[in-house]
Structure 1
Amino acid sequence: MLDSLRKAAGTWVAKLLLLLLVGSFAVWGISGQLVTGMGGNSVIVAGGTEVSATDYRLAYDRQLSVMSQQFGTRITRDQATALGIDNQVLAQLVAGAVLDEQARKLGLGVSRDRVAALTVEDPAFQGPDGRFDRNQFDYVLRQVGMRPEDYLTNREQVAVRQQIVEAVSDGLTAPDAFFRALALYEGEDRTVDFVVLPSSLVEPIEDPSADVLAKWFEDRKANYGAPEYRKISYVKLEPEDIADESAITDDQVAKDYEASKARYTTAETRRIEQLVFASEEAAQAAADSLKAGSTFDQVVAAEGKSMGDVQMGALTKDKVPDPAVAEAAFKLQANEVSPIIKGSFGPMLVRVTEITPETVKSLDDVKTEIRKALALAEANRILLDVHDSYEDARAGGDSLQDAATKLNLKVTTIDAIDRTAQRPDGTIVDDIPESAALLAAAFESEANVENDPINIGSNGFVFFEVEGITPARERMLDEVREKVVADWKVAEVAARLGAKATELEKRLKDGATLDTIAAELKLEKQTKRGLKRQADDADFGRTGVAAAFGVPEKGVGLTPAPTDGGQILFQVSEVFEPAGADASTLPEQTRTSLSQGLADDLLDQLVARLQAEYDVEVDQGAIQRALSF
């Protein structure tokens, strides 16, 4: 639970709850004497320190609120019990009680001024200016259902407990020797020699005898049972299912065409070149050169530019970024050069090298498309009316087939399908609308009853009915003999290959070399260098890497190949420690986490020792009474 609270501690409410409920320590188990029916209003007694039923209920409700936020829904009492929230709260309160008792014995305390200072310093209560805000303080406490006086009392308890906690764990870090050992462990790499033993070493496998197959099948009969099948009929209702193109008149099509002609128009495009000059004088000199017989290409070259520098591409008028260029370019003939234009970047000359005229699709070209679109639009408009008409027909006693026929809807029937959308022959029915939801509902339904429709997106429905149920049953061997034989052979290959691999592993351990074994089997000995402990290696996989790091240098092992069902026989030939491994090579987050874990272990031991010393008593009856009000 502490982990959940820590994850939730990004919000100020959760931070406050974490502070008040558990302070800085972990969740401990409960030891000591368990007393039922102690009497009075105390849930926990630890020496001279008591925890009241009211305190237990407040802690329980706050923890329930935190967990509800984590799950995104209000947790019920039964769910809380299943999650162990009652025991978690009790463990926290016991830990707090024994620390309070130890503080009482030691005479520890904290002044009200210090409590006030701690409250003012709490970021949860600070306003936008970074200073304590009384309105924020009141708001936060209302959110967790706590009175200011209760907060201050609890804050004082936490401050006192913190004195004990800090005495045990403040500044505690794991030793450098531990960090170095971890750095050596994580940074180590290995060189591994290996031979992949393929299944072909033991194949082909002969068919099993009748007795062997029968016994193998009998031991695994449940794997070959026939699942429950259902016969399902359904009616899909989407706009395309009721669109009636024949109801759209030629006049409607023509009117839509005229109203939407721009949609069918491809604007004129022109391939434009523009040459920008540094001054009006330079532009005029170029224009004069053109009049004297120079070509546009020569003028471009004279300006020290290539033809690629002046290309704008093929553009429609509205896509030309400079309005002055657009206006001029769309008045030119092909290969005509414009007069000097005052463009956005200075004086320029423009040439159009290619003109693609505007085209407009004719009504005949697009009438089929328009008719379909109009029919779909009308279908969208009346879809809910058709839905209601179908429901009315069913309510009036019509069958699914009859209701669908009246509305010109198609009925689709699947004679037999299981929960995974497979037919009895193993093929998949892959064209069912909303397949997962429909099958889940169909397998919850009784036969021959009307069901609520399944939604298709935001504008569609599937009406369905279960017309028959074929219960699950055991199959006889003759029904699945071919599959059983195939499965037996797969298992037999694995068993025989495993036995052979074990035999080869023993030979390797007894002194044979991988080179010798590979040569005998006509296989290749391979070498994997730089293998890291946490690698997901393509040849070994994670399991194989773990096996390779599970033996010492020169150690031998076997591991399943990650693909193809083979076995890998390997030997670790070299082990390399990382150079310069020490605490500094570990991430700071890792070092902090390990040190915190060490501190938590010490606190665990402290609380366990205090629980034994102060003979903790827990009244389960008081707990039940606390939860009942």
Structure 2
Amino acid sequence: MLEALRSAAGTWVAKLLLLLLVVSFAIWGISGQVNTGLGSHPLITAGGTSVSATEYRLAYDRQINVLSQRLGQRLTREQATAFGVDNMVLAQLVSGAVLDEQARKLGLGLSKDRIASLTAEDPAFHGQDGKFNRQQFDYVLSQIGMRPEDYFENRAQVAIRQQIVEAVADGIKAPDTFLRAVSLYNGEDRTAEYLALPRSLVEPVEAPEDAVLSAWFDERKKQYSAPEYRKIAYVKLEPADIADEGAITDEQVRADYDKNKARYTTAETRTIEQLVLPSKDAANAAVASLKSGTTFEKIVEGQGKTLADVQIGTLAKDRMPDKAVAEAAFALGDNEVSGVVDGTFGPVLVRVTAINPEVVKYFEEVAPEIRKDLALGEAHRVLLDVHDSYEDARAGGDTLAEAADKLKLKVTTVEAVDQSGRKQDETIINDLPASAELLRAAFDTEVGVENPAVNIGSDGYVFFEVQGITPARDRPLDEVKAKVTADWIAAETEKRLADKVTELEKRLKDGATLDVIAGELKLEKQTKRGLKRGADDADFGRDGVSAVFAVAEGGSGAFAAPAGDARILFKATEVFEPAASGADAIAEDARRNFASGLSDDLLDQLVARLQGEYEVRVDQAAIAQALAF
């Protein structure tokens, strides 16, 4: 409803018509002139104002379009109902109807000249010169299937509604008192003294008697039940599974090395400095100075630069953008300075400060790697042939093991695994290929069924079959006694610690100090300063900070430590107001949001008042009929 009221104000029509060209119609301002076969029987009446079933269905369909665009998929009728689209549209149309009825009662209207003026101001109808263009007007309306007279009627309706909305909510601002309260609330920080109460305060907790453990187990039996397990046999087919390095000859390896020798060669690189001089004369003078004993560093300094300014990095020859500089640099010895080079940006002096020679890997060094790569390449080439041969063998009556044996593929059997990938000892099987997809498929089939292969990435397959099913069952206590006992001890420890904290918290509220309690427990009292509302403190966590801010100054409380290994007993000892408070301490966008919220509240109240003033009737049968088409 509020969205609809907002869309009835300001530049609503311009936004609506532009949106229609890209996405769909908006909810409001629909005349219902489209023939849907629903007729014009009133679906909503508010006093003397009515909304037809046609208008409801058009608004409903257009809201579906808007949501579908936002979600990136077309909503079904069932999904729309789950989102509450039918009720949303009904609420919006009822709100519009009571506003229209109020306008009718007040005798509000709009002259033809004013409608024409509003239409001319609408950016949707402007031409390239920024002025109203009749052809653009006709084109926009034709695109949304609206007649000019319908547009004028709806534009007048929107403008009249706007008069009511602006009379109620225009110019609303959040009061300074409210903004000051918000700034005080948000900017406040606190100091808390606290004790971290470890489990050791109540430990050790002895194992319970059998009767106690049995009763505790009976209440949680499902928690310890055994899931369904399946025995799965599978064959993995990836290039590495069929790669045959023995089939690659020494001649093939040598030929590949010679063909791709650059791949095994690391080019020579040099660390190069380049000093660009303002003129050829200046460059020649610099060379003369070098010959007379001046250092390159002094030449650089004389040009008002540093060595960092002239260093261009460690590069291979073919990576240097200036070919002239590259030729000069790679002709120099270590720490040698060139003569004048005609560079892209003017005369240049080049110095090389380090040389990293070319490195070539010998054939013998890389031959195993080449052989493996060639075998994998061949395996990629024949992978689909092997896949088809396996499928043909199964179609011919071979078992999974027989088909795998013919193709020299390995069969792996998992004796028992649940749907999460755990074995019966609760350990996770980490080496299942395409584990999520394989387990999903294995738990969707039956024993002995030949199943479609599961894909491994873009170039692999897993053939599988289920060879046995162990049904889910309730485990007896004796089978899981060790785990149940450990869980009982952990739960009992937490309970006793919580009871201890409750006792200490009561003492704190009754006047005992944290210092006294700390002394009794031989714990260190700690202080946390500068806590901010909503912060996620490392020691307190977000929930702990919220607990500190939930009490008044001097108040106390307790919460679980974020690490889960202790409980924290605290007292809020200091509360500090922010240095700046009031409207100026609130960001402009936040002030606008508060003002918008207040406006929305007023509009809510207006619509609620009007709905009580004008009898609103909704024909539910007509809604069902409108949605049935």
When normalised by structure 2's length, the TM-score is 0.86
Check if 1:282 corresponds to 2:285: yes
Check if 1:21 corresponds to 2:27: yes
Q: Distance in 1 between matches of 2:471 and 2:442?
A: 14
Q: Distance in 2 between matches of 1:352 and 1:162?
A: 76
Deviations 1:512-550 (A, max 9, x none): 111111111111111112211111112221111111111
Q: How does 1:153-552 map to 2 (within 5 A)?
A: 153-269=153-269, 279=282, 282=285, 285-286=288-289, 289=292, 299-300=295-296, 303=299, 316-319=316-319, 322-328=322-328, 330-331=330-331, 358-552=358-552
- Shift of residue 213, structure 1, vs aligned partner: 0.6
Which protein has greater RCO, CA pairs closer than 8 Å, 6+ apart?
Answer: 1
Task: Name the residue aligned to 1:50.
Answer: 50
- Shift of residue 348, structure 1, vs aligned partner: 7.0
Q: How does 1:131-150 map to 2 (within 5 A)?
A: 131-132=131-132, 146=146, 148-150=148-150
Conserved 8 A contact 2:21-2:144:
no
- Shift of residue 367, structure 1, vs aligned partner: 2.3
Give 3-state SS (helix, strand or coil) of 2:27's partner: helix
Conserved 8 A contact 1:20-1:154:
no
Which has the larger displacement, 215-224 or 269-278? 269-278
Q: Which amino acid aligns with 1:41?
A: H
* Structure 1 stretches lacking a partner, 5+ long: 24-38
- Alignment: residue pair count: 606
- Shift of residue 206, structure 1, vs aligned partner: 0.8
Q: Distance in 2 between matches of 1:302 and 1:576?
A: 60
Q: Which amino acid aligns with 2:172?
A: L
Which has the larger displacement, 359-368 or 176-185? 359-368
Q: Which amino acid aligns with 1:242?
A: I
Q: Which amino acid aligns with 2:207?
A: D
Q: Distance in 2 between matches of 1:11 and 1:263?
A: 60
- Shift of residue 238, structure 1, vs aligned partner: 2.4
Deviations 1:34-61 (A, max 9, x none): xxxxx98111111111111111111111
- Shift of residue 235, structure 1, vs aligned partner: 2.6
Q: Distance in 2 between matches of 1:598 and 1:356?
A: 71
Task: Name the residue aligned to 1:94.
Answer: 94
- Shift of residue 509, structure 1, vs aligned partner: 1.3
- Shift of residue 217, structure 1, vs aligned partner: 0.7
Give 3-state SS (helix, strand or coil) of 1:172's partner: coil
Q: Identity percentage over the alignment?
A: 63
Q: Which amino acid aligns with 1:279?
A: A
Task: Name the residue aligned to 2:561.
Answer: 561
Conserved 8 A contact 2:16-2:25:
no
Task: Name the residue aligned to 1:34.
Answer: none
Give 3-state SS (helix, strand or coil) of 1:230's partner: strand
Give 3-state SS (helix, strand or coil) of 2:512's partner: coil
Q: Which amino acid aligns with 1:557?
A: G
Q: Distance in 2 between matches of 1:206 and 1:371?
A: 64
Which has the larger displacement, 266-275 or 470-479? 266-275
* Structure 2 stretches lacking a partner, 5+ long: 8-14, 30-38
Q: 1:318 to 1:62 in 2, by over 3 A?
A: closer
Conserved 8 A contact 2:401-2:411:
yes
Conserved 8 A contact 1:13-1:143:
no
Conserved 8 A contact 1:57-1:626:
yes
- Shift of residue 397, structure 1, vs aligned partner: 3.2
Conserved 8 A contact 1:243-1:375:
yes
Q: What root-mean-square deviation, in Å, do the aligned CA atoms of Structure 1 and Structure 2 show?
A: 3.5
Q: 1:196 to 1:329 in 2, by over 3 A?
A: closer
Give 3-state SS (helix, strand or coil) of 2:557's partner: strand
Give 3-state SS (helix, strand or coil) of 1:480's partner: helix
Deviations 1:122-148 (A, max 9, x none): 444556654456666566656666555
Q: Distance in 2 between matches of 1:285 and 1:401?
A: 84
Give 3-state SS (helix, strand or coil) of 1:617's partner: strand
Q: Which amino acid aligns with 1:490?
A: A
Conserved 8 A contact 2:284-2:340:
no
Q: Which amino acid aligns with 1:282?
A: A
Deviations 1:12-54 (A, max 9, x none): 427999995258xxxxxxxxxxxxxxx9811111111111111
Task: Name the residue aligned to 1:607.
Answer: 607
Q: Distance in 1 between matches of 2:412 and 2:135?
A: 64
Conserved 8 A contact 2:270-2:352:
yes
- Shift of residue 339, structure 1, vs aligned partner: 6.3
Deviations 1:223-279 (A, max 9, x none): 111112222233333222222222323332232222212222333456667788863
Conserved 8 A contact 1:6-1:18:
no
- Shift of residue 354, structure 1, vs aligned partner: 6.9
- Shift of residue 493, structure 1, vs aligned partner: 1.1
Q: Distance in 2 between matches of 1:507 and 1:252?
A: 85
Which has the larger displacement, 211-220 or 450-459? 450-459
Q: Distance in 1 between matches of 2:174 and 2:352?
A: 77
Q: Which amino acid aligns with 1:427?
A: T
- Shift of residue 411, structure 1, vs aligned partner: 2.5
Q: 1:548 to 1:260 in 2, by over 3 A?
A: same
Q: Which amino acid aligns with 1:173?
A: K
Conserved 8 A contact 1:270-1:352:
yes
Q: 1:71 to 1:128 in 2, by over 3 A?
A: farther
Q: How does 1:68-107 map to 2 (within 5 A)?
A: 68-107=68-107
Q: 1:234 to 1:140 in 2, by over 3 A?
A: farther
Deviations 1:565-585 (A, max 9, x none): 322111111222223411221
Q: Distance in 2 between matches of 1:606 and 1:18?
A: 29
Q: Distance in 2 between matches of 1:345 and 1:599?
A: 64
Q: Which amino acid aligns with 1:550?
A: A
Q: 1:145 to 1:542 in 2, by over 3 A?
A: farther
Q: 1:19 to 1:181 in 2, by over 3 A?
A: farther
Q: Distance in 1 between matches of 2:295 and 2:577?
A: 71
Which has the larger displacement, 217-226 or 460-469? 460-469
Q: Distance in 1 between matches of 2:212 and 2:79?
A: 50
- Shift of residue 168, structure 1, vs aligned partner: 1.4
Q: Distance in 2 between matches of 1:193 and 1:566?
A: 16
